[in-house]
């Protein structure tokens, strides 16, 4: 399937190159592009089409239209499911913000996670965060790899708890929003083994003296887990029962920081409590 498409794309490019003159070039579409991508979100568009937001490895986050994707028989199959890992071909138009998606092929299936309600909740949070924090057309190799790693682990382990906590923590870290974990952000007192406090209104981690009312605790165990997340790859960390409370506490802190810095409430977050 790949070869005929690649040939078609090449033929299309050649046709574009053969034509000259600024006026005729303006009327034409830009040459077709191809990238490895992760589907972030899709929305119904009109009766037959889909609006698709994807993170291209070489293009950054791009929005485009997949014509006919809502028809019963369509050429996209299951490639446009949330967080599918695909190879995508699209055409940019000079005057429009949306690209035209020509074709997508599945590189890696996350069918189990996508079709299970509980697991798809974890995927929905990853998708919403990525959509909110990634600027359009900005390549982000670390986020691309992080999303793939997290989704693979949700699919492979059948549990989103550890992958989502790791994903949220690393998103905060890559965004440059991580406070110091060893000292109070206000008075610089070492936190030691005492719980630190945080909330979604003020950046930082605070000691007992500097905490505001309503702040939530981040215990020493959750802070050690953050250190583990910094130094170990997700697929090498075993999720054991003893870690559960720390995994959840670190995830909640990271989600609060994501909301604080993106100035957005995560709509999918409340679904986590019901699964």
List interacting residues with Zn ion (CB under 5 A): 184, 186-187, 189, 207, 210
Shortest Cβ distance from residue 164 to Zn ion (Å)? 30
- Pick 191 or 258: Cβ nearer Zn ion: 191
- Pick 207 or 218: Cβ nearer Zn ion: 207
Helices (H), the chain: 2-18, 22-27, 111-115, 117-133, 141-157, 161-174, 220-231, 244-262
Shortest Cβ distance from residue 186 to Zn ion (Å)? 5
| 69 C-beta neighbours (distance < 10 Å), count | 22
- Pick 95 or 213: Cβ nearer Zn ion: 213
Task: Return the closest-CA partner of residue 272 out of 154, 190, 192.
Answer: 154
- Pick 212 or 230: Cβ nearer Zn ion: 212
- Pick 90 or 206: Cβ nearer Zn ion: 206
Query: Are the C-beta atoms of 37 and 16 separated by less than 8 Å?
Result: no
- Pick 83 or 207: Cβ nearer Zn ion: 207
Shortest Cβ distance from residue 259 to Zn ion (Å)? 23
Phi, psi of 112 (to 5 degrees): -60, -50
Q: What is 114-152 written as a DSSP string?
A: HHSHHHHHHHHHHHHHHHHHSPBT---HHHHHHHHHHHH
Shortest Cβ distance from residue 207 to Zn ion (Å)? 3
Q: How far is CA 119 from the centre of its chain?
A: 15
Shortest Cβ distance from residue 227 to Zn ion (Å)? 21
Shortest Cβ distance from residue 136 to Zn ion (Å)? 39
Shortest Cβ distance from residue 225 to Zn ion (Å)? 22
Distances (CA, A) of 103 to 67, 72, 75, 86, 151: 10, 16, 7, 10, 23
Query: Are the C-beta atoms of 89 and 32 separated by less than 8 Å?
Result: yes
- Pick 58 or 212: Cβ nearer Zn ion: 212
Distances (CA, A) of 136 to 61, 130, 272: 5, 11, 27
Phi-psi map region of 83: left, alpha, beta (phi>0 left; psi -120 to 50 alpha): left
- Pick 173 or 194: Cβ nearer Zn ion: 194
Shortest Cβ distance from residue 43 to Zn ion (Å)? 45
Place of tokens 């937001």: 53
Place of tokens 């559960």: 244
């Amino acid at each position: 399937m790949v070869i005929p498409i690649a040939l078609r794309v090449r033929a299309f490019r050649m046709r574009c190159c053969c034509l000259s003159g600024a006026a005729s070039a303006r009327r034409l579409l830009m040459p077709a592009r191809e990238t490895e991508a992760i589907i972030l979100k899709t929305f119904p568009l009109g009766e037959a089409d889909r609006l698709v937001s994807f993170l291209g490895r070489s293009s950054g986050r791009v929005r485009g239209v997949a014509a006919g994707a809502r028809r019963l028989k369509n050429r996209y199959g299951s490639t446009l499911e949330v967080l599918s890992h695909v190879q995508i071909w699209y055409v940019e138009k000079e005057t429009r913000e949306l690209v035209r998606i020509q074709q997508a092929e599945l590189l890696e299936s996350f069918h189990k996670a996508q079709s299970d309600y509980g697991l798809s909740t974890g995927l929905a949070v990853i998708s919403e965060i990525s959509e909110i924090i990634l600027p359009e057309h900005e390549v982000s190799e670390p986020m691309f790899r992080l999303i793939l790693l997290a989704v693979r682990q949700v699919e492979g382990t059948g549990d989103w708890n550890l992958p989502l906590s790791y994903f949220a923590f690393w998103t905060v870290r890559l965004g440059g929003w991580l406070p110091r974990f060893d000292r109070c952000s206000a008075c610089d007192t070492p936190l030691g083994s005492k719980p630190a406090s945080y909330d979604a209104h003020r950046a930082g981690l605070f000691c007992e003296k500097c905490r505001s009312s309503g702040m939530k605790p981040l215990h020493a165990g959750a802070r050690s887990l953050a250190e583990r997340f910094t130094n170990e790859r997700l697929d090498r960390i075993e999720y054991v029962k003893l870690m559960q409370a720390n995994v959840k506490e670190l995830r909640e802190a990271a989600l609060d920081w994501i909301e604080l810095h993106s100035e957005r409430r995560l709509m999918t977050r409340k679904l986590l409590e019901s699964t």
